[in-house]
Amino acid sequence: MNILFVSSSYYPHINGVYYFVCRIGPLLQERGHKVAVIAPSESAHFSLKEIDNLDVYGMPSLSVIINPTIRLPIPFLLKFRIKQILKNFKPDVIHIQDHFPLSKAVVGVNKNLKIPIMGTNHFMPENLTVLIKNENLKQRLENYLWKGFSKVFNQVTLITTPTETGARLIRPRLKVNTIAVSSGISLEIYNPSGDARAIKNKYPIPDKPILLYVGRLDPEKHMEEILQAVAIAVKKIDFCFVVVGKGTSKIPLEKLTDQLGIKDKVIFTGFVSDENLPYFYKLSRCFIIASIAELLSLGTLQAMASGLPVISVNAGALSELVKDRMNGYLYKEGDIPAIVKAIENIMSKDDVYSKMRIKSLEYVQQHDINKTLVSFEKIYQDQSGKL
C-alpha cells in the first residue's frame, strides 16, 4: 500500500505529531508499504527531502512571527502542488494529523479524487490558548478552534486519537466514527536495563536519587508547580531534579529555580538526542509531569517502559496512564503539598518504589508500538479496501 501522512509540522520542529509519524512510518515501510509525508517546508520554496527514511514533500511556507516553529503553507499554488503529489505518489490512503491549513487543503483537493482519507487528532485548544488570561476571550477562541476542527474532520471517513479520554473529548463534535489507538512506544528502546554511567558523567548528574521530567518547556506544562514542590521536598530528602527539554519557558524556569534557592538541586539539560534520551530514564527513580493538556504523553510512556513510578497531575489523558497509588500518584492541579508527599514517598520508601515500578512495566505493555502498528495497518487496509 501507498500511505501518505499530512502534518502541519515535521522535523526539525519536534513534537508529538512528528514522533508519531517518524516512528510508525518507517515501521510500515519495513512491512512492505510505501510511506511519504506532506508538511510545510523550512522556507518559501518547495522541497523534497528524505527524513527518517521517508520522502517528505515540503510545501512552501512562512513562519509565524510570534512562534517561528509554526509555519503556515503559502496558499499560492498550494492545491496545484498537492494534486501533483497525489498524482505521482498515488496513495491508497491519506492520513491527516490535524485540521490546520495544510490538512484542510489536502481534504479540499481530495473531494474530487475520492482517495480514502482518515485523521488522527493530537489537538487540544489549551496548547494554543494557555497564555490568554481573559476567560471570555479564551472561550471564544477555543470555540473557534473547535469549529475549524469539526469542519475538517467531519470530511474524513474515520478518526483515531491516542486515548479514550481524547476520543470522549471530540466525539460530541463529530459525525464520524472515532476510536482510540495508542501512538505506541518502542519497548526495545525504552526499558529498565542498560548502563547509564556515560550520561551521568557527561552532564554531570550527581550520585543521588533522580526526579526526572522530559518534554517541552512551555506554559501549559505548568513546570512552576513542580519546582515549588521540589523546593520544599529537597529540604527533607536529598535528591536531584533533572529537566530534559527546551521551550519558551526555559529561561523563566531557570530564574525561578534561582529564586527558590534550589539552583544546585536542579539540572536543565536542554535538548537531548534520541540516542541519549533512554539513559536519562534508566538513571532516574521517578518521573513527574504537571501538564494539563495531554492526549497521551510520550514522556510518561517512556518513563513507564523504563520502570519508573510517575507523579502526575490528574488532567487530560494522564489518568489513563497513571493509576493512583498503583504505578504512581495523581494530584489535583495546584496541590503543591500532594506533590511534595508523593516525591517523599517514592524517593524514601523502597517498598513503594518497587511496587510502582512493577506496575508501570505491566501497564505500558498495552502501548507497545508493534500493537499500534498492527492496529493502523488493519485500519489502512479497511479504509482502502486492500487486504
Residues 41 and 137 in one domain: yes
Three-state SS sequence of the chain: CEEEEECCCCCCCCCHHHHHHHHHHHHHHHCCCEEEEEEECCCCCCEEEEECCEEEEEECEEEECCEEEEEEECCCCHHHHHHHHHHHHCCCEEEECCCCHHHHHHHHHHHHHCCCEEEECCCCCHHHHCCCCCHHHHHHHHHHHHHHHHHHHCCCCCEEECCHHHHHHHHHHCCCCEEECCCCECCCCCCCCCCCHHHHHHCCCCCCCEEEEECCCCHHHCHHHHHHHHHHHCCCCCCEEEEECCCCCHHHHHHHHHHCCCHHHEEEEECCCCCCHHHHHHCCCEEEECCCCCCCCHHHHHHHHCCCCEEEECCCCHHHHCCECCCEEEECCCCHHHHHHHHHHHHHCHHHHHHHHHHHHHHHHHHEHHHHHHHHHHHHHHHHCCC
Residues 178 and 230 in one domain: no
Averaged pLDDT score across all residues of the chain: 93
Task: Enumerate the β-bridge partners of residue 331.
Answer: 313
Tens digits of residue pLDDT in 135-154 = 788 788 888 888 999 999 99
- What is the pTM (predicted TM-score) of this model? 0.89
Q: Residues 151-161: what's their mean pLDDT? A: 96
- pLDDT of 334 above 90: yes
Residues 159 and 295 in one domain: no
| pLDDT value at residue 287 | 98
Length of the chain: 387
- pLDDT of 67 above 80: no
Question: At 333, which amino acid appears?
Answer: E
Tens digits of residue pLDDT in 95-149 = 999 999 999 999 999 999 999 999 999 887 776 666 677 778 878 888 888 899 9
**Position of cell 514542590?**
229
- pLDDT of 70 above 90: no
| pLDDT value at residue 206 | 94
Residues 165 and 19 in one domain: yes
pLDDT band for 342, please (50, 70, 90 cuts): very high
CA angle 330, 332, 333 (to 5 degrees): 120
- Cα–Cα distances (Å) from 80 to 109, 169, 225, 352, in that order, read 9, 35, 48, 59
- Cα–Cα distances (Å) from 266 to 9, 207, 228, 345, in that order, read 31, 13, 12, 19
Which comes out higher in pLDDT, residue 329 or 204?
Answer: 329
Answer yes or no: is 86 within a domain. yes
Residues 359 and 372 in one domain: no
Lowest mean pLDDT among 20-34, 131-145, 303-317: 131-145
Answer yes or no: is 281 within a domain. yes
| pLDDT value at residue 131 | 63
Residues 172 and 239 in one domain: no
Q: Which domain holds residue 117?
A: 2-184+368-384
Percentage of residues in the chain with pLDDT exceeding 90?
81
- pLDDT of 387 above 60: no
Is-contact 250 217, C-beta < 8 A?
A: yes
Residues 24 and 53 in one domain: yes
Burial-class residue 198 by CB neighbours within 10 Å (0-12, 13-18, 19+). exposed
Residues 116 and 47 in one domain: yes
Residues 38 and 159 in one domain: yes
Residues 178 and 273 in one domain: no
Read off the CATH number of the domain in which 96 is found. Answer: 3.40.50.2000
Burial-class residue 328 by CB neighbours within 10 Å (0-12, 13-18, 19+). buried
| pLDDT value at residue 130 | 63
- pLDDT of 187 above 80: yes
CA angle 155, 158, 8 (to 5 degrees): 65
| pLDDT value at residue 145 | 86
Residues 242 and 309 in one domain: yes
- pLDDT of 14 above 90: no
The total domain count for the chain is 2
Q: Residues 177-188: what's their mean pLDDT? A: 95
pLDDT band for 20, please (50, 70, 90 cuts): very high
**Position of cell 525561578?**
256
pLDDT band for 315, please (50, 70, 90 cuts): very high
Residues 100 and 13 in one domain: yes
Q: Residues 261-274: what's their mean pLDDT? A: 95
